[in-house]
């Protein structure tokens, strides 16, 4: 059994020192890995990333992250990534990492993802170059996510995203902004390659639970949704290695 702690949209800023770390105390006793589903920072500065790494310094488990839209805002993505990598935080964009837990392996494929919408109300890469670029970006990231998941040869596979692959977890958000919250292309990539669990953030007014058309569990772990420091999920047991269980997490900061 592998225990996964996950949270997104922590939006760490310069005034966040000392807020996150106390809520993560004892995490290593409850989880085997911590997944961060984007919007790690408030405005995407290296200084904010440094505050985040300080808060995560004593977490005691591997930390794997993807960036979110906020993390791109200041144009310091390379500095943010350098800061995270320097602290041992693994960041993924069309890439994978593996965590070994008691003889079982957890493969994580990560991507920020992007928008575009869902079946019946989605954009297409037709017309103006700006529209082609918008949808083309999602297509490219979805393809990279598929290829990353397909490369994993592990006991369990998780897709770590910021944008949502399904509309289910957006319930509560205004329908008009669904195209900016996720894309069906991400779900198609996941279903084609296969996964046991998807976690994402970004949709602050959404709901936690959803599922892809292919039956893959999707969880929106944006902190305003889960209303705690992190959500806990378990994958696998001796009888059903692909089962998913949900556990309660710690209180939010």
pLDDT single digits (tens) 7-45: 999 999 999 999 999 999 999 999 999 999 999 999 999
Ordered DSSP codes for 158-204: EEEESSBSSSGGGBTB-GGGGGGTBBHHHHHHHHHH--SEEEE---T
Cα(115)–Cα(133) distance, integer angstroms: 12
Chain-centroid distance of CA 97 in Å reads: 14
* Domain map (residue ranges) of the chain: 2-247
Q: What is the mean pLDDT of the chain?
A: 94
Give alpha helix (H) positions in the chain. Answer: 46-56, 77-86, 129-151, 184-193, 223-226
- Taking the model in full, what pTM does it have? 0.94
Radius of gyration of the chain (CA): 17
Whether the pLDDT of residue 76 is over 50: the answer is yes
- Length of the chain equals 253
Whether the pLDDT of residue 75 is over 80: the answer is yes
Confidence of residue 238 (pLDDT cuts 50, 70, 90): very low
Whether the pLDDT of residue 244 is over 90: the answer is no
Q: Considering the chain, what percentage of its residues have pLDDT values greater than 70?
A: 93
- 2-247: CATH topology: Purple Acid Phosphatase; chain A, domain 2 (3.60.21)
> Minimum mean pLDDT among 5-9, 34-38, 105-109, 121-125: which range?
121-125
Q: Phi/psi class of residue 113: alpha, beta or left (left: φ > 0; alpha: ψ in -120 to 50)?
A: left
Cα(66)–Cα(12) distance, integer angstroms: 15
* Overall average pLDDT of the 166-192 stretch: 98
């Amino acid at each position: 059994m592998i225990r996964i702690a996950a949270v997104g949209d922590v939006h760490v800023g310069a005034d966040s020192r000392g807020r996150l770390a106390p809520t993560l105390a004892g995490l290593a006793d409850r989880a085997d890995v911590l997944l961060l589903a984007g919007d790690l920072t408030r405005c995407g500065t290296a200084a904010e990333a440094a505050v985040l790494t300080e808060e995560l310094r004593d977490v005691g488990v591997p930390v794997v992250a993807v960036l979110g839209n906020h993390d791109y805002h200041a144009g310091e993505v390379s500095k943010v990534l350098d800061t995270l990598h320097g602290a041992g935080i693994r960041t993924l964009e069309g890439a994978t990492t593996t965590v070994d837990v008691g003889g079982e392996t957890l493969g994580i494929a990560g991507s920020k993802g992007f928008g575009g919408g869902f079946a019946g109300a989605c954009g297409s890469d037709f017309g103006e170059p700006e529209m082609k670029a918008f949808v083309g970006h999602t297509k490219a990231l979805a393809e990279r996510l598929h290829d990353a998941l397909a490369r994993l040869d592990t006991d369990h596979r998780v897709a770590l995203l910021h944008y949502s692959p399904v509309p289910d977890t957006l319930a509560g958000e205004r329908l008009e902004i669904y195209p900016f919250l996720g894309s069906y292309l991400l779900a198609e990539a996941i279903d084609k390659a296969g996964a046991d669990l998807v976690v994402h953030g970004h949709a602050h007014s959404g709901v936690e639970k959803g599922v892809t058309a292919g039956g893959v569990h999707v969880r929106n772990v944006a902190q305003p949704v889960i209303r705690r420091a992190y959500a806990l999920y378990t994958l696998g047991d001796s009888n059903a290695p692909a089962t998913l269980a949900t556990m309660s997490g710690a209180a939010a900061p």
